[in-house]
Structure 1
Amino acid sequence: MPYQPLNALVDACRWIGARGWAPATGGNMSLREDSDHCWISQSGKDKGNLTADDFLRVEIATNRAPCGGRPSAETGLHTLLYRLWPEAGAVLHVHTVNATVLSRVIREPVLELTGYEMQKSLRGQQSHQQRVAIPVFDNDQDIDALAGQIGRYGEQHPLHYGFLLRGHGLTCWGRNVDEARRHLEGLEFLFHCEMQRRLLERV
């Protein structure tokens, strides 16, 4: 029988799929079960049509799916986040146009956002005057190497909401599916605003 709390994640996946944020079976989503296990979407599945049966139970320490099946290629990034931040309860990785393009425009290691009222959609943000820092990492097909790069950064700097991979997309998380979903929607709105601002400043 599927893990019942996955129903909220399935709903989030369908919401993501309806917005075109995980095209061509891209993206991957996961939910923490406990300190040792998480559930992650299987590779090659349309995220807008997932059911609870399309998630695999994975060991956080080893990335292994004891019952077989092929978890997402980026499983190692999800388990890294669960290891680094015990409060992380759900992780959403999407390929939105705004996140993908903006990640290539940004040359700095961190995208800094400030002045937007919608920053308050992110946990801990109380004012548009605060600063939101989203790390930007170079993409790498070697997931272990990429996880190592992100892990080293995370050990020295706060990673509150998510990070961007250049030319790839956004990975974000929350204490539960609802918070992860709110962070995704809030960040996507902020990225869209930042893209428009930068375009208009060039006119």
Structure 2
Amino acid sequence: MTQLDALVKTCHWIGHKGWAPATGGNMSVREDARWCWLSESGRDKGSLTRDDFLQVEIATGRVPSGRKPSAETGLHTLIYRLFPEAHAVLHVHTVNATVLSRLESAPVLRLQGYEMQKSLAGQQTHLDAVDIPLFDNDQDIDALAQRIAHYAEAAPLRYGFLLRGHGLTCWGRDVNEARRHLEGLEFLFECELRLRLLERK
């Protein structure tokens, strides 16, 4: 199975989970140092095929086919430029990620004390702290990408980030790792959200 085939299968799984409703979200896989394959805008993620992915130039965002890629193309290409080891990027609109991103006012969401932190590459214990950066949402994707790149110059940017009121973007060294990071983070977000709601009662 190729990485693109694995991504199509993962998109169907994401769609079944309801994590990319109303054609929301976007997914990509790196082809090589120059190109990636990115989901076309306005497509239902639960029924994507290989033909629904467009070749995009990582350095420029150019789409040779002339078809319309996802609105967040600039975030995918940024991740591939920042992290040569990243080979798959998943952006979803889950309820837990979206609500938690609005509840948390700090620039990072700190996760600590959860055994499932070990679903994230390199995490060995629940005692460590995992910081997921939060960025204010912006319809100007180029400006948003610049802010994320500026953050990454000064602080670690691992696994993924949250956009306030928008959702989660995460990545991995291949599609399977990106999928594991997505599932692990979504579980952690749900635990954190439920805990905060219980503490408010």
TM bucket normalised to smaller: over 0.9
Give the Cα–Cα distance (whole angstroms) in 2 for the partners of residues 116 and 154 of structure 1.
25
Instruction: Verify: 1:18 aligned to 2:16, yes or no.
Output: yes
Q: Which residue of 2 aligns with 1:32?
A: 30
Residue identity in the other structure for 1:103? S
The residue aligned with 1:113 is: 111
Residue deviations 1:75-124, cap 9 Å, x none? 00000000000000000000000000000001000000000000000000
What does residue 77 of structure 2 align with? 79
Instruction: Give the whole-Å Cα distance in 2 for the aligned partners of 1:43 and 1:202.
Output: 39
CA deviations over 1:22-61 (Å, ceiling 9, x no partner):
0000000000011110000000000000000000000001
Select the residue among 134, 158, 162 that pairs with 2:156.
Answer: 158
Secondary structure of the residue that 2:32 maps to in structure 1?
Answer: coil
1:194 maps onto 2:192 in alignment: yes
Amino acid at match of 1:188: E
**1: distance between equivalents of 2:125 and 2:183?**
18
1:45 corresponds in structure 2 to: 43
1:67 Cα deviation from its structure 2 partner: 1.7
Structure 1 unmatched ranges of 5 or more: none
1:176 aligned to which of 174, 177, 188: 174
Matches of 1:155 and 1:43 in 2, distance apart? 30
- The TM-score normalised by the length of structure 2 is 0.99
For residue 68 of structure 1, report the CA deviation from its aligned partner.
Answer: 1.6
> How far 1:157 moved relative to its partner?
1.1
Q: CA deviation at 1:155?
A: 1.5
Match for residue 52 of structure 2? 54
Letter in 1 for 2:132: I
For residue 96 of structure 1, what is the aligned residue in structure 2?
A: 94
- Paired with 2:139 and 2:72, the residues of 1 have a C-alpha distance of 9
**What is the letter of the counterpart of residue 174 of structure 1?**
G
Is residue 3–residue 174 contact of structure 2 (8 Å, CA) maintained in 1?
no
Partner of 1:127: 125
In 1, the alpha carbon distance for the partners of 2:47 and 2:118 equals: 31
Deviation at 1:5, TM superposition (A): 3.0
What amino acid is aligned across from residue 148 of structure 1 in structure 2?
Q
Which is worse superposed, 64-73 or 169-178?
Answer: 64-73
Taking structure 1 as the reference length, the TM-score comes to 0.98
For 2:81 and 2:101, how far apart are their aligned partners in 1? Answer: 25
- Identical columns (%): 73
Match of 2:137 in 1: 139
- Partner AA of 2:137 in structure 1: N
Could you list the runs of 4 or more consecutive aligned residues of structure 1 that deviate by over 2 angstroms after TM superposition?
none
